[in-house]
């Protein structure tokens, strides 16, 4: 019986690290795209280190790459990161940390660490899943960002290779797995239509904010 919890813990850690490897590798794309958008290698690395939420990071560099106001990019990034706050509401009582542990854990609240925590049978297993997934994604994402940014800088102007179009591709890759039902697909279509309709008349970055607002209103209505 004493071996069973330990075996389960090892399995959780193994799954968490596997998630970290798969997700962290995508940081190479962010690093290269960030450099293509005009950020330096160290600015790209600082973004991953301090912001550490993929969708928000891609939103920020996407607006900057398009020539938009950095404030618009920041607002878009913040809006996309709101979901992490809701994750925190669920994870707070589940993990049971307080003080500096709670503050440090807040930086690792992402999709992957949340998913690895909420389905565990005990609080100990939930903490193991949270730390293994969140910690491995954090380390590997930042390392991959550095690799991508250095590689992108050595290649020169990445628009020559069409990498400036990768921002849209990155968003599509993040969005596609979430379109599981008719409501999600409908919200995605309406958001896209609203964003496209506003492109000719509004500043760069505003259409993305408007599309996100559509999703928030739809989420509140279906709730």
pLDDT digits (tens, 9 = 90+) for 154-170: 765 555 555 555 555 55
How much is the pLDDT for 132? 93
What is the Cα Rg of the chain in Å?
19
Question: What is the number of domains present in the chain?
Answer: 2
pLDDT band at 203 (very low <50, low <70, confident <90, very high): low
Residue 35 above 70 pLDDT? yes
Distance of CA 40 to the CA centre of its chain: 20
Mean pLDDT to the nearest integer, 63-71: 72
Same domain, 183 and 220: yes
Residue 67 above 90 pLDDT? no
How much is the pLDDT for 3? 64
Mean pLDDT to the nearest integer, 48-54: 89
Same domain, 156 and 188: no
pLDDT band at 146 (very low <50, low <70, confident <90, very high): very high
Asked if the structure places residue 82 within a domain, the reply is yes
Same domain, 203 and 124: no
Asked if the structure places residue 49 within a domain, the reply is yes
What is the number of other CB atoms lying within 10 angstroms of the CB of residue 195? Answer: 18
Q: Which residue among 141, 165, 189 closes a domain?
A: 165
Asked if the structure places residue 40 within a domain, the reply is yes
Q: Which residue among 165, 187, 204 closes a domain?
A: 165
Asked if the structure places residue 147 within a domain, the reply is yes
Contact 28, 142 (CB under 8 A): no
Contact 28, 147 (CB under 8 A): yes
pLDDT in tens, 178-192: 677 788 888 888 888
Contact 48, 27 (CB under 8 A): yes
Phi-psi region of 59 (alpha: psi -120 to 50; beta: other; left: phi over 0): alpha
How much is the pLDDT for 58? 82
Mean pLDDT to the nearest integer, 86-109: 89
Tokens representing residue 154 in the block: 């050595």
CA 168, 171, 177, 182 torsion: positive or negative? negative
Asked if the structure places residue 172 within a domain, the reply is no
Mean pLDDT to the nearest integer, 17-22: 85
How much is the pLDDT for 162? 56
User: Which residues, other chains included, contact 125 with Cβ-Cβ below 8 Å and sequence gap of 6+?
Assistant: 8, 9, 12
Residue 171 above 60 pLDDT? no
Q: What is the DSSP letter of 223?
A: -
Asked if the structure places residue 155 within a domain, the reply is yes
Lowest mean pLDDT among 72-76, 83-87, 100-104: 72-76
pLDDT band at 142 (very low <50, low <70, confident <90, very high): very high
Structural domain of 187:
179-223
pTM listed for this prediction? 0.71
Asked if the structure places residue 96 within a domain, the reply is yes
Same domain, 99 and 203: no
Same domain, 187 and 100: no
Same domain, 40 and 110: yes
pLDDT band at 112 (very low <50, low <70, confident <90, very high): confident
Q: Exposed (0-12), middle (13-18) or buried (19+): which is 98, by Cβ within 10 Å?
A: exposed
Tokens representing residue 88 in the block: 């925190």
């Amino acid at each position: 019986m004493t071996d069973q919890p330990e075996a389960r813990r090892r399995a959780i850690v193994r799954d968490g690290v596997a998630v970290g490897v798969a997700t962290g590798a995508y940081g190479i794309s962010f690093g290269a795209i960030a450099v293509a958008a005009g950020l330096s290698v160290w600015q790209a690395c600082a973004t991953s280190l301090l912001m550490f939420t993929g969708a928000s990071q891609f939103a920020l560099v996407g607006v900057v790459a398009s020539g938009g106001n950095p404030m618009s990019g920041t607002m878009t990034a913040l809006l996309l990161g709101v979901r992490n706050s809701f994750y925190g509401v669920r994870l707070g009582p589940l993990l049971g940390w307080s003080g500096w542990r709670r503050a440090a854990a807040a930086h690792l609240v992402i999709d992957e660490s949340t998913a690895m925590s909420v389905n565990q049978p005990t609080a100990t297993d939930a903490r193991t899943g949270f730390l293994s997934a969140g910690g491995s994604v954090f380390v590997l994402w930042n390392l991959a960002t550095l690799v991508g940014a250095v590689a992108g800088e050595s290649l020169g102007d990445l628009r020559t290779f069409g990498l400036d179009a990768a921002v849209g591709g990155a968003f599509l890759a993040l969005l596609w797995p979430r379109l599981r039902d008719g409501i999600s697909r409908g919200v995605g279509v309406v958001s896209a239509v609203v964003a496209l309709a506003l492109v000719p008349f509004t500043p760069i970055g505003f259409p993305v904010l408007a599309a996100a607002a559509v999703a928030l209103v739809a989420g509140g209505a279906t709730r």
